[in-house]
Structure 1
Amino acid sequence: MKIIVIGKSGQLAWELSQLASPEHEIVCLGRNDIDLQNFAAITECLQQQKAAGVINASAYTAVDQAESDVDNAFMLNAKAPGNLARACKDLAISFVHVSTDFVFHGDKGSPYLPADEINPLGVYGASKAQGEQFIADIYPERSSIIRTSWVYSTHGNNFVKTMLNLMRTKPELGVISDQIGTPTYAKGLATACVASLTGNVNGIHHYTDTGVASWFYFAVAIQRIGFELGLLDKIIPIKPITTAQYPTPAKRPHYSVLDKSSLASVLPELTFSHWQVQLHMMMTALKAEQS
């Protein structure tokens, strides 16, 4: 099966590329390889590639920048997924699209189900929500939308690598403690995307690692594991701060834990691990890459 991944430089696209096997040829296409604004060009490209399925790992993810870059955010997060869904429908191939916990307001207080009402707080979440709606309207019969949260990898820029760099250079850190969610290692997310594609999963589902954290406790775990593995040579104070103490252009959901039971039921072979187990695995891989 030849799987086309939309995205080349991002952390999820990189993890997807690592899943290539004799059963699954995986080709990652970047912005120079496919024009996501041009429906006809997308269809022609997928035909030339002889694609059996498409995973969209491309997105406008600069949450704060999106507040002032609205057109580009909606182009990449809404129009492009709609174009991809149309092309996949015309070619009768399966389509998997990755979305976000930011489509939710964050005021529920218990894990969000796929069918819960969406109410995004900012441009990024609104653009991703519109992308979901386009896909659901255009190609519900052979598409799946997988919402995730707090994604990180050994590749690319992410919270884990940023924290490690700051812990090496700063005398202390303040990290937000009143935003609650679940960190997700992109390696597991990539596996879930391929399984959804090959398993012909339809509809909206959620995938994250298990457990719950604040950004503060996530940072504390990064420092503890980093010191244990020798990625850090000292321990610095990490202080909890509130969202109000660290204002940003975009509002973030205070609580965005995602319920994963629907995906677990349709893909019983998928394994879900606690975020701290996955974090240790990623940081061990990061140490191996750096040594």
Structure 2
Amino acid sequence: MTPGRIAVLGGRTGLLGVPLARALEARGYEVEPLGRADFDPLSSEAAARFLDDYQPHWLVNAVAYTAVDKAEDEPAEAATLNKALPAMLGRLCQARSIGLFHFSTDFVFDGKKNTPYTEEDPTGPASVYGQTKLDGEKALTALGMQRLIIARVAWLFGPGKKNFVRTILNLAKEREELGVVHDQIGSPSYTPDLAEYAASLLQADANGLFHLANAGRASWCELAGEAVAAAGLTCRVRPITTADYPLKAARPAYSVLDTAKFTRATGVAPRPWLQALREYVYTELEADPH
């Protein structure tokens, strides 16, 4: 093991993996971003060979099955990436005294609270996606690893890949009005910020379960409306209910994450999601002025 050497699964193309690899490099770590071209992450033999050759101090798993609605029809595929993969990586890392940093989701909660969820709150996923992510958490925790960080994240938006905010901006350029769900409340989170928060946990030599998100709360409708306003578009964003826009997988009505434990561990206070959103929208507009 080389202290300061970190491998990032999903670090080549992932919405969160790419900014995380960059954030770690900026802090002086030796980082190996990994994608499917490097080795098949589902092959324990290939993963073991990589870990033996590279000998990282930490392995970060930023790979997941995230197609929430599709997972209802593909539970086995979702479980392979969200439960079996982290469990296998955990066993390999444990045998080699390598730390594992794994990302989970706010969808492990049932959404019946109306105050932010802490790490101690009971879970109760309402979807296959949420259940498989929770199963992954439980499989890792059961291993009793000496160095394990599980970070639950939520409502990701950021550069480089398709995400809710980019989709809204593209639609708003073409339409006069968009109906967006207002009765689901969560923690919008900017992936470059989450990457910095994750890097701070690694730097702090933290251990255990943490919630990572930008500060504040919003509905999907508020997030969409603020994005459209920041982009200077004239499209009207109209609130609708979950019942008006039925999807295959159930979403938690409320899944705001409490990040106080993260702040206690690192001394870092997450910045407001609105500030992060504006930075993202302005960056997107500069990259694509049309």
- The Cα of 1:50 is off from its aligned counterpart by 2.6
Which residue of 23, 33, 37 maps to 1:32? Answer: 37
8 Å Cα contact 1:182-1:257 kept in structure 2: yes
- Cα deviation per residue 1:83-138 (whole Å; 9 max; x = unaligned)? 11111111112111111000000001111110111100010000000000011111
Q: Does 1:12 align with 2:16?
A: yes
SS in 2 for 1:111: coil
User: Identity of counterpart residues, as a percentage?
Assistant: 35
Counterparts in 2 of 1:125-274, with a 5 A limit? Answer: 125-227=130-232, 234-268=233-267, 270-274=268-272
Report the CA distance shift for 1:63/1:27 in structure 2 as closer, same or farther (over 3 A). Answer: same
Corresponding position of 2:49: 44
Query: TM-score normalized by structure 2?
Result: 0.94
**Matched letter for residue 195 of structure 2:** A
8 Å Cα contact 1:96-1:196 kept in structure 2: no
Corresponding position of 1:90: 95
- The Cα of 1:16 is off from its aligned counterpart by 1.5
Where do 5+ consecutive residues of structure 1 fail to align?
228-233
Aligned partners of 1:134, 1:172: CA distance in 2, in Å? 45
Aligned partners of 2:276, 2:52: CA distance in 1, in Å? 37
Aligned partners of 2:27, 2:180: CA distance in 1, in Å? 44
SS in 1 for 2:152: strand
- The Cα of 1:195 is off from its aligned counterpart by 2.1
* Most deviating of 142-151 and 279-288: 279-288
Aligned partners of 2:282, 2:21: CA distance in 1, in Å? 20
* Most deviating of 144-153 and 47-56: 47-56
- The Cα of 1:22 is off from its aligned counterpart by 6.9
Corresponding position of 2:110: 105
Aligned partners of 1:195, 1:46: CA distance in 2, in Å? 23
Query: TM-score normalized by structure 1?
Result: 0.94
- The Cα of 1:82 is off from its aligned counterpart by 0.7
Aligned partners of 2:121, 2:30: CA distance in 1, in Å? 35
* Most deviating of 3-12 and 209-218: 3-12
SS in 1 for 2:231: helix
Equivalent pairs counted in the alignment come to: 284
Report the CA distance shift for 1:139/1:286 in structure 2 as closer, same or farther (over 3 A). Answer: farther
8 Å Cα contact 1:73-1:124 kept in structure 2: yes
SS in 2 for 1:251: coil
8 Å Cα contact 2:176-2:234 kept in structure 1: no
| RMSD after superposition | 1.3
8 Å Cα contact 2:231-2:285 kept in structure 1: no
Q: Does 1:277 align with 2:275?
A: yes
- Cα deviation per residue 1:187-212 (whole Å; 9 max; x = unaligned)? 01111222222322111110100111
Corresponding position of 1:231: none
Aligned partners of 2:26, 2:118: CA distance in 1, in Å? 33
8 Å Cα contact 2:94-2:145 kept in structure 1: no
Corresponding position of 1:230: none
**Matched letter for residue 3 of structure 1:** I
8 Å Cα contact 1:196-1:267 kept in structure 2: yes
- Structure 1 residue runs of 4+, over 6 Å off? none
